[in-house]
Amino acid sequence: MPVTPHIEKHFSASAVVRDIVIGMADGLTVPFALAAGLSGAVSSTAIIITAGLAEVAAGGLAMSLGGYLAAQTDLEHYNSELQREKAEIKQVPETERAEVRQILREQGLDPALTETVTASLTRDPDRWVDFMMRFELGLEEPEAGRALKSAFTIGGAYVVGGLIPLAPYFLLETVSRALPVSIALTLAALLIFGGVKGQLTGVAPLRSALQTAIIGSLAAAAAFAIARIVGR
C-alpha cells in the first residue's frame, strides 16, 4: 500500500523577507495615517504630498538606521560571546565539558552515548565552540554584510510601502477625491501584504490580512479624527 510522503511545513523566510515585512508594515501604516490626518485638516494635495514625501524620506532613513544598528549589534554580540567561549574552552575545559554533557543529557542521550559524543566534540576546538554557541547560547553566526543589507532592505520596503497611500494625491486634483482612493488602495495593499506575511510566517493568511488591515485603518482613522478636531 503506497504511503503518502510526509511533508513538514516550517517558517523558512529568510532574514531579507523579515526585513521586508518590517519595512513594509510601517511604510504602509504611518504615511497612510499621516495623509489621512492631513486630509482632515487641509484642502491642498500639494501640502499632503510634500508632508508625505518628507515623512517617507525621514521614516525610510530612520528605519534603515534602525535595521543597520540592530544587525550590527547582533554581530558584535555574537563575536563577543564567541571570543568568551573560546577563552573558556582554553581556560576551564573541564567546566565546558560538563556543560556539553548537561546539554546532551537534556536532549535525552543516555550516559554512555553522552560520553562518546562529548569526547568526539571536544577533540575539535572549532566544533566545540560552534556547539556551545548554538546549543548553550542559542546563537547563530550572522550573515556577512548583514547590517548594510538589512538597512537597504528595510528602508527600501518602507519607501515602497509609503508611496502607495500617497499615489492618489499625485494623480487626483482634490483631497476629497484623493482620500477615498488612497483609503481603498492602501486597504487593498494592507490586505495583500497581511495575507502574504501570514503565509510566510505560518499564520492563517486571512487572519493575518484582516489584522494588518484593521491596525492600519485604526491608525488612519485616529489621525484623521485628531486632525479634524484640532483643525476646527
Say whether pLDDT at 6 is over 70.
no
* Predicted local confidence at residue 164, as pLDDT: 92
CA atoms within 13 A on the CB side of 142: 22
Q: What pTM did the predictor assign?
A: 0.76
Mean pLDDT of the chain: 83
- Provide the residue ranges of all domains of the chain, joining segments of one domain with +: 15-74+145-231, 81-136
Q: What is the C-alpha separation between 101 and 110, in angstroms, rounded?
A: 10
Closest CA to 201 of 5, 22, 68: 22
**Which triple of cell numbers denotes residue 23?**
519595512
Greatest mean pLDDT among 33-42, 58-67, 141-150, 213-222 = 58-67
* 125-145 per-position pLDDT tens digit: 888 888 888 888 888 888 878
